[in-house]
Amino acid sequence: MKLVIAFAVFVALCSGHALPSVPGDNSDYVEGESRYIWMPDGEGNPKLVDLHEPVDEALLNSRNGANNQYWLFTRSNQNNAQILVNGNINSVRNSNYASNKPIKVIVHGWNSNGGSSVNTAITSAFLAVQDVNVIVVDWRQLAGSSYTSAANGVPSVGQHLGNFLVWLINNAGGNWNNVHLAGHSLGAHIVGVAGRQAGGRPSRVTGLDPAGPGWSNNGNALNRNSGRFVEAIHTDGNILGLMAAIADADFYPNGGNHPQPGCSLSTCSHSRAHELFASTIRHNRFAGRQCSNLSQAQQSNCSGSTLNMGNAVINKSGTFDKIIRTDEDKNRINFHVPFRLSGLSYMGDKKRKRPLCSGHAIPTVPGDNSHYVEGESRYIWMPDGEGKPMLVDLHAPVDEALLSSRNGANNQYWLFTRSNQNSAQILTHGNINSVKNSNYASNKALKVIVHGLNSNGGAAVNTAITSAFLAVQDCNVIVVDWRQLAGSLYTTASNGVPGVGQHLGNFLTWLINNAGGNWNNVHLVGHSLGAHVVGVAGRHASGTPSRVTGLDPAGPGWTSNGNALNKASGRYVEAIHTDGNILGLMNAIADADFYPNGVCSGHALPTVPGDNSHYVEGESRYIWMPDGEGKPILVDLHEPVDEALVSSRNGDNNQYWLFTRSNPSKAQILIHGNANSVWLSNYLGFRPLKVIVHGWKNNGDSAMNPLITSAFLSVLDANVIVVDWRTFAYSHYNTASNSVPAVGQALGKFLIWLFNNAGGNWNNVHLVGFSLGAHIVGVAGRHVSGRAARVTGLDPAGPGWTDNIHALNRNAGRYVEAIHTDGHILVCSGHALPTVPGDNSHYVEGESRYIWMPDSEGKPVLVDLHEPVDEALLSARNGANNQYWLYTRQNQHNPQFLVHGNANSIWGSNYLGSRPIKVIVHGWNNDGNSPMNPTITSAFLAVQDANVIVVDWRTLANHPSYNTAAAGVPGVGQHLGNFLVWLINTAGGNWNNVHLVGFSLGAHVVGNAGRQAGARPGRITGLDPAGPLWGGNSNALNSNSGQYVEAIHTDGNILGIMTPVGNADFYPNGGKNPQPGCSILNSICSHGRANDLFAATVRHNHLVGRQCANIWQAELSICSGASFHMGNGILSKRGNGIFGLLTGNSFPF
């Protein structure tokens, strides 16, 4: 009863406060008098702010300016920040910071961060007009707190910024005459403090609508002592911004107050300042007229001398000669900036489809949420950490950066017991001493409490329930504090629930395994989002907690969310619903659902024929399926996938049970990665290998496994491996079905490892799977590149698999068969081969579906260009799997392996930074040993002492699907680009001496690599760049990939691209099939000719093209323009145009 009372008290505590009536346009606001004001959050969404809210002193002490981050952007890294660390000179030396270039510093305002639009817009503007160092200051640690706390933290943030700039210039060089600080809103006052902290030395300081509330008479505000020339641009004066003139020059565009043109809200007018500033940097065309006084500025009635507003001119200053001053405005310049059609034409750019106002109209939302409909309504009132109402936009974008940095690893675990009922003891995951030194007692029950949005460990929900538990029982109470995410936007916090829950599950598992405890005594309790957190945690702990209680589980966004609390979260799960259909879920989700003061709606079970005669694939929702004992169980095919389970119980949980004639009934367990488990077993590599995989709701002991195992062993002395994947197979059908790719890939990896370590022969491998298991062996077979001799699918699962790219198909092995016994629509699993001419004469890019391409041995293989991309493989076999093989004149035939990030792999090699770097990248179905690589390598080394790096990306390139390999090209190229940047930065090198060469798909790989490296490579050569799927593809090789880019086209419009893509494009013999010596029936020969031609030109530099007026002249080989050598290895080569030439039919052509 006391526990129930505690829950009731908590509900009463969160009943909230009456919403103040505050006009959405802030029209009632009076600075220094009004208590409430609407302000924009980081996304421009309106948030009601209480200016009387107490300052969070603890936060100010812990999240002060020492938490500032300094993000450097330059023309060499315009989109990827380099982090400069105050006091760490290496962070500067290893960056693109250049002391001889101007320094531009940008500081955001309240509820923003380094990635907010104010920073990106101004950064790109600065870099568009000048080669500079742009430093964005990210002070989100304080900026994300309440307005009053953030405002009080401004002096510290500014002082730390000033100290950082002094340290930077003193230690890494720079010139104060070239320093320009710009800040928006609270950020304007920060740059003011920073400038004064640096002794007023910055040449320019610009305040963009400096924050108004609380700053009228604040000694820490921006003023003209902050730099040599200080200006302010006022756009929302007397509301969100200051109206008073505070700088050397104060600009008041359109009167300096709300509304600015195109704005209906003051939040929009407030943001207009930074939009205007970014515009002036690029165009410098907004000229203000001098005003006699502030009144003239507000009335847009100024007629004095002109001064341009904003811009990036570092030596800008105001002229005082002809200024008519009043006593009030002595030594200040006030300018009205007329925002006439000339200015409006920019702000109304035809390319922009959305209004320029950054704010949003504040919707009329009833304070009782009576309007709210789940899945339809956009806005809803929710309580903040104090129970005060806060308007939440359910469409607000998720802050992915915050999710990455403030995930469940930031959870804190506060222990309370009867010995410390009011003072928490902190338990740290992985630190057993934190437990041993606490009052934790493993023989006592364990209660875990998790708060919701905008709360923390000290919130009322935790203290009320903790005291209730300890009043009735001597137990361990652990309060989970996840404020790092819970304090963010609702959508972001909601998306962070799985990570928080998984970390909690891992923590509990670690705690019980290391410090003792009993899952039978574990009770998890969570409120609102916390209810879903404990749901995830319970499932992550395999559903072993004895009890899980959800207190009004959060509703918005959770109705069909696979991460929601459900009855798989514990042995007994209950939910108490008190605000269903608004802030909480109304649906029954647990073993027991309580609806105090309400009516249980219940759910009627659908009437489904027991023979499944109703079932239509892709349409029916329900179907009867057998459980592990063959009993029928009703399956809802619309049930959400349990993503948390999929993440935690992947294919690494597979078990591999070995049976042989020496142990036909008792399994020996083989463990992936543990060679002893194989060597100590009866496995023999020369025997045939039979692999059996069960289906849904089954395990290694299910009847099918011993039945098929005994059948195999009765006729053959074999290794039979039964795969037990019960950790997934026992989940809901949809979840188990979604896990098939991971289970299959893990099986494929295991087989490769087994053969590499204990022997085996792919010609003797037979994979057999039933139902979902049939698709698992399909995935496994494709993962081993289709090398298994046989794959058999026993009635492959149907529901959800008709058009599923992970389904069993004929690419899974050399011979694939399926036995169908319960097909609802009898369709042969194979496919009739289309009639496709062997010379690809039918092929039209963008229209034809099938094309012949060469395999690794040059043999033709039919490719389906509509085949779905294997996304799972792309994730697992991305560019991080690239291998880099170094050849030099000292090791022309035996590669030395360079490992990205491992400097010792370079120091121990023959690499010399003084030599040119030649990089060679193969195409589809090739690897580092393919003939093109040694041919071109030997040619380079024959004429020059160079570092030749062959890139082996076989993990993707050797995939049976061309489409998948093509989709992986950007990732492979980006990793190659990053590797080269690291290599040159670590061991030396000169970008002018870098030459990248790629064939077919490899041509597009080097294109991506060059762009990833900022187009710095001196030369890039594409050898018949791949055509299929690359017409109009933005990831293709292009002239922006390097300093000079050329392409050699030999099979255009079939396997290669015909369109010019480089600075110079060569079309030997018309650039198409057949090339001399190649049969017209063999475009594969013509495609490969580009490699041979290039290798010949490296050695002899003898093939000369003539410039063509157009591509048609090149195709007809009738060009007569200027001469230009094709190919070769000359690093300083430069040229432009289309070139044709004729060659011979054999080396050296």
Compute the distance between CA of residue 1030 and CA of residue 1042 in angstroms, rounded to an integer.
Answer: 19
Domain ranges of the chain: 36-347, 400-594, 652-819, 871-1141
- Span 199-207, mean pLDDT? 94
Tokens 């007018």 — which residue? 269
Question: Is 50 exceeded by the pLDDT of residue 164?
Answer: yes
φ/ψ (deg, to 5) at 851? -155, 145
Q: Residue 292 and residue 323: Cα distance in Å, rounded?
A: 7
Measure Cα distances from 623 to 525, 587, 606, 611 in Å: 34, 22, 10, 9
pLDDT exceeds cutoff 70 at 42: no
| Residues 6+ away with beta carbon under 8 Å from 437 | 425
Number of neighbours of residue 844 by Cβ within 10 angstroms: 8
In which band, very low, low, confident or very high, does the pLDDT at 367 lie, cut at 50, 70 and 90? low
Look up residue 57 and give its DSSP letter.
H
pLDDT on residue 824: 35
| pLDDT of 1008 | 96
* pLDDT at position 568 over 80: yes
**Quick one: pLDDT at residue 8?**
32
Determine contact, residues 1105/1125, Cβ cutoff 8 Å: yes
Report residue 633: phi and psi, to 5°. Answer: -135, 135
Tell me the average pLDDT across 826-846: 55
**Which one is predicted more confidently, 915 or 837?**
915
Q: What is the pLDDT of residue 609?
A: 57
CA 489 distance to own-chain centroid: 19
**DSSP 8-state code for residue 822:** S
Mean per-residue pLDDT, 378-403:
65
User: What confidence score (pLDDT) does residue 392 get?
Assistant: 66
The residue ranges of DSSP E strands in 1069-1118, in sequence order, are 1104-1108
Q: Do residues 270 and 249 lie in contact, with contact meaning Cβ atoms separated by under 8 Å?
A: no
Mean pLDDT for all residues in the chain: 83
Whether the per-residue pLDDT at 897 is higher than 50: the answer is yes
The predicted structure's pLDDT at residue 985: 94
Rounded Cα gap, residues 564 and 532, in angstroms: 5
Angle between helices 117-129 and 266-283 (to 10 degrees): 10
Could you tell me if 978 and 949 are in contact, meaning their C-beta atoms sit under 8 angstroms apart? no
Instruction: Decide which of 424 and 845 is more confident.
Output: 424
What's at 1013, amino acid-wise?
A
Question: Within 10 Å of residue 815's Cβ, how many Cβ atoms?
Answer: 12
Band of pLDDT at residue 1072, cut at 50, 70 and 90: very high
What was the pLDDT predicted at 831?
A: 33
In this model, does residue 1123 exceed pLDDT 70?
Answer: yes
Q: Is the fold of 36-347 the same as that of 871-1141?
A: yes
Instruction: Report pLDDT for 352.
Output: 24
Q: What is the pLDDT of residue 388?
A: 57
Which residue, among 145, 77, 134, 87, has the nearest Cα to 112 in the 3D structure? 145
According to DSSP, the residues that pair with 450 across neighbouring strands are 480, 526
The confidence band for 684, taking pLDDT boundaries of 50, 70 and 90, is very high
Other beta carbons within 10 Å of 169: 18
CB-count burial class (<10 Å; 0-12, 13-18, 19+) for 916: buried
pLDDT higher than 80, residue 832: no
Secondary structure of residue 576 in the 3-state scheme: strand
Summarised one tens digit per residue, pLDDT across range 457-477 is: 888 889 899 999 998 899 999
614 neighbors 629 (Cβ within 8 angstroms): no
More confident site: 772 or 955: 772
Give yes or no for residue 499 having a pLDDT over 70.
yes
pLDDT > 60? residue 13: no
d(C-alpha 117, C-alpha 121), whole Å: 6
List CB contacts of 947: < 8 A, sequence separation 6 or more.
886, 888, 910, 911, 912, 915, 916, 917, 918
Give the whole-angstrom CA distance, residue 1115 versus residue 131.
Answer: 42
Report how far Cα 34 is from the mean position of its chain's Cα atoms: 42
- What is the second-level CATH architecture of the domain 36-347? 3-Layer(aba) Sandwich (3.40)
Q: Which two tokens stand for residue 826?
A: 């009898």
Pick the CATH number of 652-819 from 3.40.50.880, 3.40.50.720, 2.40.37.10, 3.40.50.1820: 3.40.50.1820
Classify strands 719-724 and 689-693 as parallel, antiparallel or unpaired: parallel
What string of DSSP letters covers 75-106? TTEEEEEEEE-TT-HHHHHTS---TTS-EEEE
Tell how strand 655-660 and strand 719-724 pair up: antiparallel
DSSP three-state, residue 18: coil
* Beta pairing partners, 1022: 998, 1047
Neighbours of 1059 (CB within 10 A): 17
Q: What mean pLDDT comes out for the span 440-449?
A: 95
Alpha carbon distance 130, 121 (integer Å): 15
Average pLDDT over residues 833-852: 69
pLDDT confidence bin for 836, thresholds 50/70/90: low
Whether the CA torsion 131, 314, 115, 107 is positive or negative: it is: positive
Active site residues: 1000, 1024, 1087
Confidence category of residue 838, pLDDT binned at 50, 70, 90: low
Q: 116: pLDDT confidence band, cut at 50, 70 and 90? A: confident
Average of pLDDT values for 980-984?
Answer: 96
Question: Domain 871-1141 in CATH: superfamily?
Answer: Alpha/Beta hydrolase fold, catalytic domain (3.40.50.1820)
Average pLDDT estimate for 434-439 = 93
Between 181 and 484, residue with greater pLDDT:
181
CATH superfamily label, 400-594: Alpha/Beta hydrolase fold, catalytic domain (3.40.50.1820)
Tens of pLDDT, residues 622-648: 676 665 556 566 666 676 766 665 566
Q: How confident is the model at residue 913 (pLDDT cuts 50, 70, 90)?
A: very high
Q: What is the pLDDT of residue 147?
A: 84
**Residues 765-774: pLDDT tens digits?**
999 999 999 9
Answer for the pair 1021, 1061: CB distance below 8 angstroms, yes or no.
Answer: no
The yes-or-no verdict on residue 28 having pLDDT over 70 is no
- Reply yes or no on whether the pLDDT at 1013 is more than 80: yes
Quick one: pLDDT at residue 992? Answer: 96
- Which helix or strand (DSSP H or E) is residue 933 part of? helix 932-943
Question: In terms of Cα–Cα distance, which of 644, 144, 156, 154 is closest to 405?
Answer: 144
